[in-house]
Structure 1
Amino acid sequence: MSNFNQPLSGNDMPRFSGPGTLFRLPAADSAEGLDVAIVGIGLDSGTSNRSGARFGPRQIRQESALVRPYSMATGAAPFDSFQIADLGDVPINPYNLSDSIAIIEAYYRELLEHPVVPISLGGDHTLTLPILRALAAKLGPLALVHVDAHSDSNDSMFGEKITHGTVFRRAIEEGLVDPRHMVQIGLRATGYSAADFDWPRRQGVRVVQVENCWHRSLSPLMEEIRSQFGGERPSYLSFDIDGLDPSAAPGTGTPEPGGLTGIQALEIIRGCYGLNLVGGDLVEVAPPYDPSGNTALLAANLVFEILCSLPGCRRR
């Protein structure tokens, strides 16, 4: 019997009842003694289109009650491998984006005083920048797997240098991410100029447009990425739910047609097993645009797959 925290079983408590934590894990006030910390960030003041991602962490947690503790496909058993708990939400300032960014960075710097892997629930994509700042301060420039419909590499939006659409430009400029070990998967649709897609390429980022993903498995792509990144380099996974087609994930603020499938999302995350993942996030779930809850349910399953892909996860 594992001594690690276990999700509350649906055989002990109906899944529509019990705690509101992710996967119905125990809650914790500190990362002390944890291997993996679940953190919610209900931020959506960095969005440029439809708001609502502030409700993402709560809805992902609610739908996560349907996720069971073992992976049939991979045999992964994350709750028998790591001490995991839900630390609740970062107390952001909904009236001030720059203050929220500072709050998030300070929170993660304190969190990372412990040897813990943070897995974050968003919230809009702006939140990734302060997390990367905290991780890079401890570990140096990171390799990055970025799944998204958009490159999020604008120089500014409405005159603002930090928004959900400028995150990775700032991360590269600040030296938080090594662009030679960065891949963006699922980019598509329209932009304001060719630079929206060309700027990352000029920095050395590998850009995999969605057309190169249509009608094919992404497992070979992930084999290439594992070979490129290696198993030692600290790596981060940032997964924007709008990387998926709206038919799979309509509950998001900036949906784009022609996106990745749910199956390809699983292939990407499962393909991260073998990387030295030091953190990850699942962002841009906006529940008001999907009353069925399916987007948040898919997001919860993808977070489970991230746990299964962490280094050291036991496989039956």
Structure 2
Amino acid sequence: MIEATTATAASTGSTEPVGPVDSSKVPRFAGIATFARLPRLEDVGRADIAVMGVPFDSGVSYRPGARFAPAQIREASRLLRPYHPGLDVSPFAAVQVADAGDIACNPYNIPEALDAVQEGASTLLDAGSKIVTIGGDHTIALPLLREMKRRHGPVALLHFDAHLDTWDTYFGADYTHGTPFRRAFEEDLLDTEALAHAGIRGPLYSKDDLTDDARMGFGITTAMDIMNEGVPAVVQALRERIGDRPLYISIDIDCLDPAHAPGTGTPEAGGMTSRELLAILRGLAGTNIVGADVVEVAPAYDHADITAIAASHVAYELVSLMALNGRSA
């Protein structure tokens, strides 16, 4: 039985982290698709890092479908392995990582759904977990930032995206996937000395969008900047802006070019490669990452799981960065 190969903390009596199912004994395509084949949170009791799914897409303005992303990202994550050579860390052995399952969001009531996300995040944070959230659309970043503020005070924000997501409203609605960081600014959730967008590209509604964004304190590194200046220069600039402040990383998968992430709600030509995104994240090793999300994967528009595979590796990168910090603490 597959269940017999998955040890739990209770069954082993060990205080060592419980890792993923051994893929040399159980084929990757068999068994329950938790993130990276890790134990469920209820099987280990506690986790230093919890992977939380938010199957919600009621805030999207174009293509729906991100509600199916947590399941698809978990499915694609079956191929992840336990040692990260780029960061020289075995994240699942360094700390306890577990899959916390999904938040049950009301798809018909956005404020109620955001409250549910915040409550779920609060429960995990109060239990001592850091959270990597797999969404879901970008609306969910707002309740997550509310919880970051509660625990850490205003946080630095590194936002990977094709779009600014600092617009005011859509069709008179305050809470959408294009407005979370304006609401976060208005609610004083952010450290306005340490805000950065990366990967921005494509047309805007007007030049005033940039003026408004700068007023909130954001610096912009465009996709073209990444190409022209190179990853090392971009990493250096981002690290200088962030410093040692508590850092929240929010990653819209559409920061990647549609060649690397076709399955997303609002694709834009001219984006980063998945290699560039992973390299920038690795360059942030040692920063004080307190939480992160990966959002806007829309499986119905994906091809051969290209987008889900990219998202699963990005989530693994974030888990590994957090585990690296946990190991050295």
TM-score (norm 2): 0.91
Q: Deviations over 1:134-154 (max 9, x none)?
A: 111121000011000000001
Mind listing any 5+ residue stretches in structure 1 that lack a counterpart? none
Partner of residue 90, structure 1: 103
- Structure 1 residue 222 corresponds to structure 2 residue 235: yes
* Aligned residue among 303, 308, 319 for 1:307: 319
Q: Offset of 1:226 from its aligned partner?
A: 2.0
Whole-angstrom CA distance in 1 between matches of 2:112 and 2:79: 35
C-alpha distance after superposition, 1:167-201 (max 9, x if no partner): 11111111111122011001110111122233221
Q: Given that residues 124 and 130 in structure 2 are in contact (C-alpha distance below 8 angstroms), is that contact kept between their aligned partners in structure 1?
A: no
Whether contact under 8 Å (1:90, 1:104) holds in the other structure is: yes
What residue number does 1:293 align with?
305
Aligned to 1:147: 160
The whole-number CA distance in structure 2 between the counterparts of 1:77 and 1:219 is 24
Take 1:30 and 1:109, find their aligned partners in 2: how far apart are those partners? 20
- Distance across 1 between alignment mates of 2:121 and 2:22: 30
Q: Tell me, yes or no, if the aligned pair for 1:31 and 1:116 is still in contact at 8 Å.
A: no
Q: How does 1:231-246 map to 2 (within 5 A)?
A: 231=244, 233-246=245-258
- The match for 1:265 is 277
**Amino acid aligned to 2:310:** L
Contact 1:80 1:314 in 2 (8 A): no
Q: Hey, what does 1:203 align to over in structure 2?
A: 216
Shift of 1:129: 0.3
Q: Are 2:41 and 2:47, in contact at CA under 8 Å, matched by a contact in 1? A: no
Q: Structure 1 pair 7/32, CA: closer, same or farther in 2 (3 Å)? A: closer
Q: Secondary structure at the match of 1:213?
A: helix
Structure 1 residue 217: Cα displacement: 2.8
Report SS of the residue matched to 2:41.
coil
Q: TM-score, normalised by structure 1?
A: 0.95
Shift in alpha-carbon separation, 1:219–1:76, aligned structure 2, 3 A: farther
State the partner residue of 2:171: 158
In 2, distance between residues paired with 1:210 and 1:313?
Answer: 31
In the TM superposition, residue 51 of structure 1 has moved relative to its aligned partner by: 0.2
Question: Alpha carbons of 1:31 and 1:254: their partners in 2 closer, same or farther (altered >3 Å)?
Answer: farther
C-alpha distance in 2 between matches for 1:107 and 1:68:
28
Give the aligned residue type for 2:129: V
Seq. identity, %: 40
Instruction: Please give the per-residue CA displacement for 1:257-311, whole angstroms capped at 9, x wherever unaligned.
Output: 0001111111121122111101100000001001311110111011111112125
Aligned length: 314
Contact 2:118 2:147 in 1 (8 A): yes
Bigger mean CA deviation after superposition, 188-197 or 62-71 = 188-197
List, as ranges, runs of 4+ consecutive aligned residues in structure 1 with deviation greater than 6 Å: none
In structure 1, the residue matched to 2:134 is 121
2: CA distance, partners of 1:47 / 1:35: 31
- Change in 2 beyond 3 A, CA 1:113/1:313: closer
Q: Measure, in 2, the Cα distance between the counterparts of 1:30 and 1:135.
A: 26
Distance 1:313 1:10 in 2: 25
Is the Cα contact below 8 Å between 1:39 and 1:121 reproduced in 2?
yes
Give the secondary structure class of the aligned counterpart of 1:87: strand
Paired residue secondary structure (2:188): coil
Where does residue 68 of structure 1 map in the other structure? 81
Q: Secondary structure at the match of 1:309?
A: helix
Residue of 237, 247, 262 corresponding to 1:250: 262
Deviations 1:217-271 (A, max 9, x none): 323221232233223x211110000000000110101000000111111112112
- Supply the distance in 2 between the matched residues of 1:165 and 1:290 (Cα, whole angstroms): 21
Give the conservation status (yes or no) of the 8 Å contact 1:49–1:254.
Answer: yes
User: Residue type matched to 1:196 in 2?
Assistant: D
Q: Does 1:131 align with 2:144?
A: yes
**1:149-170 Cα distance to aligned partner (Å, 9 max, x none):** 0000011111001100001111
How many angstroms does 1:8 deviate by? 1.1
CA 1:230 to 1:199, structure 2 compared with 1: closer, same or farther past 3 Å? same
Aligned match for 1:47, one of 60, 71, 76: 60
Structure 2: unaligned runs, 5 residues or longer: 1-13
Report how far residue 216 of structure 1 moved: 4.8
**Equivalent residue for 1:279?**
291
Q: How big is the shift at 1:206? A: 1.0
2:104, 2:35 → 1: CA distance?
A: 18
Cα deviations across residues 70-120 of structure 1 (Å, max 9, x unaligned)? 112221211121111101000100111111011111221222212210110
